[in-house]
């Protein structure tokens, strides 16, 4: 796990999921079904849970949706947050249905008495509220005052809502200040983080479909996480919400902020020494290994000359020789297989690695594999020569550097 310094915040609980303080950064997503379709919504909630979501938000936009929540909440595998817009009484209804959290949009629930009524009811229920500011639905007065949906306007909206909640002694609060413009989103959260100590929910709103939506979300969310800002995240993609949960979980794992639970496949970009179609092998390996739900880092390398050494930190990998694949664990070659068996050998070894552990699999290595791999590397160099023209390039580099 990473040792980066987290911004200190208060801690609250969404159901049994802690948010803020020293708790792990959580992943959220939102269902796209009609909430009144109880079975369909629950099916999506279970899929989101399987993809890595810790918390799921569900719209509560009418009475039928509120009634649906009453059936969904007790059957859900994760805490449910009700998403509330315009109608404060639906927030009260959602609390009656047993939700674990509320999201209120201060841009469209503006009546101070209504907000305080919801806060008192949430306090009685022991349920936290997210103040969910969105650049696309800011109060018109704030837009006029600040000249548009700039970071200062988003933070002002959040602080106004927080003040209403605090005036009735409600402090079980988390906050989001989402913007579709990544630099504005980042600046909004930085400004908010310097102003309050409440936990923050990160996201780039209306990010759009992949790949653009993924790129924008990663750019904004990871920038802040690496600065120690953020306690729970959501990728807002125009896609199946399962993709949101997968992306959020993967990002946290890649940043070292959550323990690995899924595949991390790394591959070289290929070069003059590659003896196989690295892209095709990597794609086939990813598909096969993802189906196994293995929490490993797996490397697919194009050649045996440098592959095992360059990817020695990977749990498992394969490097291509001439008609062969060198299977390695933590950089140590344990088996040599035929080229057409490379992917199946990876899957077979990954299963055994999961069941037996690294030490046992290293102990079971083919005694002749390392020597055969070394011999193959020498032969490949003899056949190909300096395929990447590294020697010539080094001479040229020295000449330029020395001014010859």
282 and 168 housed in the same domain: no
**Would you say residue 218 lies in a domain?**
yes
Query: CA nearest 251: which of 388, 82, 399, 52?
Result: 52
- What average pLDDT does the segment 28-41 reach? 96
69 and 211 housed in the same domain: yes
Residues 292 and 304: beta-carbon distance below 8 Å: no
236 and 379 housed in the same domain: no
**Would you say residue 152 lies in a domain?**
yes
Answer yes or no: is pLDDT of 324 > 70. Answer: yes
Residues 199 and 101: beta-carbon distance below 8 Å: no
**Would you say residue 65 lies in a domain?**
yes
Range of 22's domain? Answer: 11-254
Query: CA nearest 333: which of 379, 371, 287, 388?
Result: 371
Determine the distance from the C-alpha atom of residue 325 to the mean position of all C-alpha atoms in its chain, rounded to a whole number. Answer: 32
**Would you say residue 400 lies in a domain?**
no
- What average pLDDT does the segment 381-397 reach? 66
Would you state the pLDDT for residue 374? 80
Please count the structural domains in the chain: 2
| Residue pLDDT, tens place only, 354-374 | 999 999 999 999 988 888 878
243 and 379 housed in the same domain: no
350 and 288 housed in the same domain: yes
Q: Which two tokens stand for residue 36?
A: 């009144």
**Would you say residue 389 lies in a domain?**
no
Per-residue pLDDT band for 268 (boundaries 50, 70, 90) equals confident
59 and 117 housed in the same domain: yes
270 and 333 housed in the same domain: yes
Task: Specify the CATH number for the domain of residue 335.
Answer: 3.30.413.10
**Would you say residue 379 lies in a domain?**
yes
* Model confidence, pTM: 0.83
**Would you say residue 274 lies in a domain?**
yes
Strands of the 316-320 sheet, one edge to the other: 264-267, 297-301, 316-320, 324-329, 332-338
24 and 66 housed in the same domain: yes
How many percent of the chain have pLDDT more than 70? 92
Would you state the pLDDT for residue 221? 98
Answer yes or no: is pLDDT of 1 > 60. Answer: no
Would you state the pLDDT for residue 400? 80
**Would you say residue 394 lies in a domain?**
no
- What average pLDDT does the segment 113-124 reach? 98
Answer yes or no: is pLDDT of 3 > 50. Answer: no
Would you state the pLDDT for residue 307? 67
CA distance 98 to 71: 9
Per-residue pLDDT band for 273 (boundaries 50, 70, 90) equals low
Answer yes or no: is pLDDT of 156 > 50. Answer: yes
């Amino acid at each position: 796990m990473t040792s980066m310094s987290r911004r200190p915040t208060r801690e609250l609980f969404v159901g049994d999921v802690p948010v803020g303080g020293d708790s792990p950064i959580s992943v959220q997503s939102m269902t796209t079904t009609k909430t009144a379709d109880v079975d369909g919504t629950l099916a999506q909630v279970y899929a989101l849970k399987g993809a890595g979501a810790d918390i799921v938000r569900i719209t509560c936009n009418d009475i039928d949706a509120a009634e649906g929540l009453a059936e969904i909440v007790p059957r859900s595998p994760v805490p449910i947050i009700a998403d509330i817009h315009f109608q404060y009484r639906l927030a009260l209804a959602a609390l009656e249905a047993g939700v674990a959290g509320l999201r209120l949009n201060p841009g469209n629930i503006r009546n101070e008495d209504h907000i305080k009524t919801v806060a008192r009811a949430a306090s009685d229920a022991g349920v936290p509220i997210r103040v969910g500011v969105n650049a696309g639905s800011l109060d018109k007065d704030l837009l006029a005052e600040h000249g548009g949906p700039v970071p200062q306007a988003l933070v002002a909206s959040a602080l106004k809502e927080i003040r209403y909640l605090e005036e009735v002694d409600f402090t079980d609060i988390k906050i989001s200040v989402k913007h579709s413009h990544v630099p504005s989103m980042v600046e909004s959260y930085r400004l908010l983080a310097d102003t309050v100590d409440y936990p923050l929910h990160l996201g780039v709103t209306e990010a759009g479909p992949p790949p653009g939506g993924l790129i924008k979300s990663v750019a904004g969310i990871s920038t802040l996480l690496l600065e120690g800002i953020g306690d729970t995240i959501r990728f807002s993609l125009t896609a199946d919400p399962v993709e949101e949960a997968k992306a959020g979980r993967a990002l946290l794992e890649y940043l070292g902020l959550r323990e690995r639970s899924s595949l991390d496949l790394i591959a070289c970009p290929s070069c003059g020494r590659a003896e196989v179609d690295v892209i095709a092998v990597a794609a086939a390996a990813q598909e096969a290994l993802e189906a196994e739900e293995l929490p490993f880092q797996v490397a697919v390398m194009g050649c045996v000359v440098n592959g095992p050494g360059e990817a020695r930190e990977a749990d498992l990998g394969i490097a291509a020789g001439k008609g062969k694949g060198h299977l390695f664990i933590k950089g140590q070659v344990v088996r040599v297989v035929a080229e057409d068996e490379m992917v199946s050998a990876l899957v077979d070894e990954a299963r055994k690695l999961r069941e037996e552990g690294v030490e046992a699999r290293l102990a079971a290595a083919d005694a002749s594999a390392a020597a055969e791999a070394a011999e193959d590397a020498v032969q490949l160099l003899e056949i190909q020569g300096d395929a990447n023209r590294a020697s010539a390039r080094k001479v040229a580099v020295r000449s330029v550097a020395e001014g010859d």
